[in-house]
Amino acid sequence: MSDSHEVTRKSGRTSPVTFYRQVIAELRKVVWPTRPQVVNYFFVVMVFVLIMMAIVAGLDYGLARLMFLIFA
């Protein structure tokens, strides 16, 4: 090993070049989703979000009506 690597190892820090190489190496290991998978995931997430919005809106409406009945 060169002296620069010894210094970086002792300080616990890596050089920006080494960090960049490690990032690129990790990105090459990633299994990227196909276009149909992305479209499918998009619709699954959208349906889930819409269902959650409906539940929260229903609870908000119901609790607001209940508060008006109690305090009005």
The pLDDT of 29-56, averaged and rounded, is 97
- Give the pLDDT of residue 32: 92
- Give the pLDDT of residue 6: 52
- Give the pLDDT of residue 21: 95
59: confidence class by pLDDT, cuts 50, 70, 90: very high
72: confidence class by pLDDT, cuts 50, 70, 90: confident
The domains of the chain are located at 1-30, 33-72
CA distance 43 to 51: 12
Q: What percent of the chain has pLDDT over 90?
A: 79
